């Protein structure tokens, strides 16, 4: 199994705080069936700041520790890129990393409460520059939940999306789980990834997520989403079915009885 989104590198953001915790996360990932994991610390985030040389150092040290302790996990480098007006320039100058640090796919996060007005145009520019944007955890974006038409337009325009395993598994509540299912059903999700930050409150739960998807949609959907991660890891062209609009759910009327 391949996990495209994690915060396993120590001391860079709100993920692992130490190499000891990184190793514990690695062992937990293996127990959950993961063989390849992408380390994707937050980039250009208002709460976290680190230099690329520090990122490379922690990446190399973690891989060395995994070999030393014989943990059968391959860690690949990437970042969770904060959307901003100079994203294309940062990618072209290698200040911002693609998944695999050299591939064409880029993991991009929006602010948690809205989608910037310039997002559609900027993601188009990212594609023109030769990259393939993957929108991270749209199921937890407040504005997308309220206006799913925004997500339909972004996917229609050739962008991809990654839904979090914990969201699918119900760890963030029924509302987010239901919206995650809506995104999958409408072909607005192309990957499931852990977005793991630790081994306790924000663990991997990939196996649990796959079981939830199997119950809801069947094995074919499980294979489709898992295969897309494998295709990405091999540098191929990810499968993207025609997106469908999510129907707005009508609010239940409250009746007063006298």
* Structural domains of the chain ordered from first start: 2-233 (3.20.20.140)
Query: Rounded CA gap, 10 and 156, in Å?
Result: 36
pLDDT digits (tens, 9 = 90+) for 62-99: 999 999 999 999 999 999 999 999 999 999 999 999 99
pTM: 0.94
Mean pLDDT of 9-30: 97
**In what order do the strands lie in the sheet containing 132-136?**
42-43, 80-82, 105-109, 132-136, 160-164, 191-193
Mean pLDDT, the chain, whole residue set: 94
Specify the pLDDT at position 171: 96
Say what percent of the chain tops pLDDT 90. Answer: 91
For the cut 70, the answer to whether the pLDDT of residue 207 exceeds it is yes
């Amino acid at each position: 199994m391949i996990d495209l989104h994690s915060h396993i590198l120590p001391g860079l953001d709100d993920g692992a705080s130490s190499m000891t915790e990184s190793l514990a996360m690695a062992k937990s990932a293996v127990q959950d069936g993961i063989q390849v994991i992408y380390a994707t610390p937050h980039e250009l985030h208002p709460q976290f700041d680190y230099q690329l040389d520090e990122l490379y150092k922690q990446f190399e040290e973690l891989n060395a520790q995994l070999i030393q302790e014989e943990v059968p996990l391959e860690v690949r480098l990437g970042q969770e890129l904060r959307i901003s007006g100079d994203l294309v320039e940062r990618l072209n100058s290698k200040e911002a990393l693609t998944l695999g640090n050299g591939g064409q796919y880029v993991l991009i996060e929006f602010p948690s409460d809205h989608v910037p007005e310039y997002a559609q145009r900027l993601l188009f520019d990212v594609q023109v520059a030769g990259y393939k944007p993957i929108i991270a955890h749209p199921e937890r974006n407040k504005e997308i939940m309220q206006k799913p038409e925004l997500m339909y337009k972004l996917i229609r325009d050739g962008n991809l999306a990654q839904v979090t395993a914990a969201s699918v598994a119900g760890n963030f509540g029924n509302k987010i789980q239901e919206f995650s299912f809506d995104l999958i059903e409408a072909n607005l999700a192309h990957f499931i990834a852990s977005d793991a930050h630790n081994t306790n409150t924000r663990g991997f739960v990939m196996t649990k997520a796959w079981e939830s998807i199997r119950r809801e949609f069947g094995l074919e959907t499980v294979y489709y989403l898992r295969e897309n991660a494998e295709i990405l890891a091999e540098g191929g062209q990810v499968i993207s079915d025609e997106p469908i609009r999510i129907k707005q759910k009508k609010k239940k009327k409250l009746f007063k009885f006298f």
